[in-house]
Amino acid sequence: MIIWKNILKNVAFLDEESLEKAQQSLSLYFKLNGICPSPYEENLDYCIDPWPMVLSVDDWMEIRVGVEQRMSAWRRFLKDLYFEKSIFKDKVIPFEPFLSSDQYRRECVGLEPPGGEYFYIYSCEVAKEENGKWVVLRDEMEQPRNLMLSEEIRKGLKEALPQLFEGLEIMPLTGLPERMLEASSQNLSDDNNSQIAIVAATAEDWEAAILARRMGIPMFLPSDLVVLQGKLYAKTLSGLEPINILFRRLPDCLLDPIATRCGAQEGIAGLFWCLRKATLRLINAAGCGVTTDPLLQSYGSKMIRYYLGEKPLLNSLPTYPAYDPDVFSLFLDSLQDYFLKDRNGHSVALEKLLGKDDKTISRFDCRSLVIQKKPRLKKFPSFYRTTLSHKPAALVLFGVVKNGKPELLPIMFGKVIADMTFQDKNQLAFYKDIWLLQENSWTFPNVNACVNVSVRSRIAPLSRVAESMYWMGRYLTRSMQLNHMLLTVRSFGDEAMKGESEDAFQNLFSEVLGYFVILSTSFHSIGSKDFSTLFSSFFTGTDWYDSVVSCISKCYENGRKIRDSLPPEVWVALSSLFFSLQTQPHVKSSINYDQSLNEFSIGSDRLLAIINEHLLRNELWKFFQIGTFYEKGKFTLHLIKLCTKITEKKEALFRGFFLQVVMEWILKLTSALYAYRSLYHYPFSPKNLIELLLFDRQFPRSISFCLRQIEAMLQFTERIQNISQKPLSFVRYMVAKLKRWADEIGSNQEKDIENIIQFKQKIGEIEKEFYEFHSLLSDEYLTHQSTYEHVAVDEGKYVTD
């Protein structure tokens, strides 16, 4: 009773207004953490109901025993289905609907998964009926989804409404990834070199990324994997790394383009070869897709009786095949009591299927549809669409099979079923937190205990990840350079660009901007216009060309692709910078330029600091740094070229005061003003400036410094076998060449102006080498092709029989 008093005390202050606020901050939390229901639709958000549902221990016990019984029956069924088929032969359940189903995979018949277990992870949806009995709405074994949602809802709710949790001991929801890892690595052979990985259909799959991070395993895309001699390998920078256990986030039909006949772009060609040779443990095993069939799920009770000889503790929803004309006419007579679903559990709208007279079925294959009875569910308080009301809710639960024993974990979240007709697994639902409270003598099971898994090992980074990291470095630096340029222009003021030297300034300005790729229309309009035009093109421009906003979006996109490799702090800093720019007003007049520019400076510096702090010991950071210094070097090179161009000009204008202004400008653009002043005297000399930007070993934007940094970053390749060292040798060559040139100039101090003309040609050479280096880096490390060409295959003629 004390617990309930505490809960009542905690919720007493919650009115609709504060709940709405909590809901908004919950969506913000989800957005910043990049959690969205579909990896393909970024703008789709999860809707979270901040009002938690309290589950009593009695209810939990009832569910746990019932679901574990169900899991045992499913284990036996899957093995039976792909081997003996005794349940069909004994006529316990009809075979026609299942053996004719598309999800019944003939290629899995007689294919025993290594370890003998078909599923290790299980998920189901249960709900309480009005009569107080729990009913199973759905089972999921093919590729359970939303595994990390419960944890994220709890975290978000704790951030949004911390008062709600005061003085309560609520079952913590952490520990699912660890349990999954423990269950899946059971009964491994003595081979200790097992490597676990996760494969996701797209790199933007947030959940796979979080799972991979939490489990400490790499995440791959199907294109990162290759099958050789019946074994699965990942293509990494240092060659092929074998994979023994694979968590899949792909449905059965997209596993192998040859065996399951999916498109060549999807799936891993030859995966079934590994399964046939039993060199790979797929989690969950291929063939589990058949269990998503609602019709098969409705036979759960019969399976329990047949396989376990027990009385079923939980019922499932009565479901009938729609191809039976009697069943279908019955359904049409009492539409309000039934759902029409396809064999994957998706709701089907009746209107699409019916002909004119409403009773004939037009143009659809009844074989693929089922009719399911609507349950009458108990309602729970929920905050649904800005009002507090009572709505039916279902529980989504997760279980693991460990050493052949099913175990339902006390990890769950709630799903508000607002409209029973849309009880669909893919329909956008309202989710809520579930509280399991410590009551009476019952204590929490120890789900957070450390698990002992000995199979983790480090894998060298993938070229795909290195590539994204490299581009993140480049885009972040580019955006910072753009921002810095705008700040510099701002510091000169609008007046500086007007007056006598206006045209010359315009020219100069166009030259500087020539480095950045912008819309040709905005390029021509820059100039005599005011700062607002400049700002709207180079800061807020949202085209695919360079602007601060678009550079950061590209940086964010690259980050999204490699979320599993980014520490959460880096990810949150990146997404908050991205979203802060997304919400910037794009209005010209009212905007406070200085504030926006300064805010971005602070935000980007912070992001950089966080990246440097959290990724310092990581090989990926090296690629980030290579990108950063490459970009810095290229920009400096551009300004040096500009400097030589101006010095060449013979007009009087470029000799006097204006030249000094231009020099100062270039120095400010590269943040080199103070460095220059500490080395040389006034007035600015083009030669000194060029020398500083080219050869200075300490100045962090000089070409020499950038090249040395890149060299240092690439030195790790010397330690790894099989990895190409071409880029490193090339950078070393560039550094040596630069040094020789610096020495030459040092010995020819007298010839001043002539040297600058000579510079031009050599700078052109360096620029060319920069491009060459980029293509070399791309070829060697950043594309998939080059990493696995060295596989040795025995020569000879293979005669069979």
**Cβ neighbours for 794, distance < 8 A, ≥ 6 positions apart:** none
Q: Which residue, 365 or 495, is less far from another protein as judged by CB?
A: 365
Q: What are phi and psi of 199, to 5 degrees?
A: -120, 130
Sheet holding 239-243, edge to edge: 225-228, 231-236, 239-243
DSSP 292: G
Minimum distance, C-beta of residue 367 to another protein, in the bound complex (Å): 9
| Cβ distance to another protein smaller for residue 157 or 226 | 226
- Judged by beta carbon, residue 230 or residue 567, the one nearer another protein is 230
Nearer Cβ to another protein, position 479 or 787? Answer: 787
Alpha-carbon distance of 632 to 54, in angstroms, equals 56
Q: Minimum distance from CB of 302 to another protein (Å)? A: 18
CB of 230 to another protein, least distance (A): 7
Least distance between another protein and beta carbon 100 (Å): 5
Distance in Å, CB of 460 to another protein, minimum: 18
Q: How far is the CB of 305 from another protein (least distance, A)?
A: 21
CB of 209 to another protein, least distance (A): 25
Helix H or strand E segment including 388: strand 387-402
Q: Any idea what DSSP says for residue 450?
A: P
Closest to another protein by CB, 709 vs 787, is 787
Min dist CB 720 to another protein, Å, is 20
Burial 185-198 (b: 16+ CB within 10 A, else e): bbebeeeeebbbbb
Structure tokens at 637: 């090179």
Q: Which residues bind another protein (CB under 8 A)?
A: 85, 88-89, 95-96, 99-100, 106-107, 109, 226-230, 257-258, 261, 264, 269-270, 273, 276, 784-785, 788-789, 791, 793-801
Cβ 95 to another protein shortest distance, Å: 6
The residue (of 107 and 564) whose beta carbon lies closer to another protein is 107
Instruction: Find the shortest distance in angstroms from Cβ 706 to another protein.
Output: 33
Q: How many CA atoms lie within 13 A of 276 on its CB side?
A: 11
Nearer to another protein, 682 or 798 (CB): 798
Kindly state the smallest distance separating residue 87's Cβ from another protein, in Å: 12
| Those residues with Cβ within 8 angstroms of residue 68's Cβ, 6 or more apart along the chain or in another chain | 399, 406, 407, 408
For helices 531-538 and 593-615, angle between their N-to-C axes, nearest 10 degrees: 30
Tell me: cis bond preceding 284? Omega within 30 of 0 counts: yes
Least separation, in Å, of the C-beta of 267 and another protein? 9
Q: Please, which residue, 61 or 791, has the CB nearer to another protein?
A: 791
CB nearer another protein, residue 212 or residue 286: 286
Q: Phi and psi dihedrals of 90, rounded to 5?
A: -80, 5
Q: Within 13 Å of residue 33, how many CA atoms lie on the same side as its CB? A: 21
503: left (phi over 0), alpha (psi -120 to 50) or beta: alpha
Whole-number Å distance between alpha carbons of 679 and 663: 15
Which of 251, 247, 246 has the alpha carbon at shortest distance from 142?
251
For the beta carbon of residue 628, count every other beta carbon within 10 angstroms.
Answer: 26
Beta bridge partners of 54: 435
- Length of the chain, in residues: 801
Which residue, 90 or 351, has its beta carbon nearer to another protein?
90
CA distance linking residue 485 with residue 501, whole number of Å: 20
SS3 state at 589: coil
Which residues, including other chains, have CB under 8 Å from residue 761's CB and lie 6 or more apart?
Answer: none
Closest CB to another protein among 47 and 226?
A: 226
Distance (Å, whole) CA 610 – CA 616: 10
**Which CB atom, from 753 or from 791, has the smaller least distance to another protein?**
791
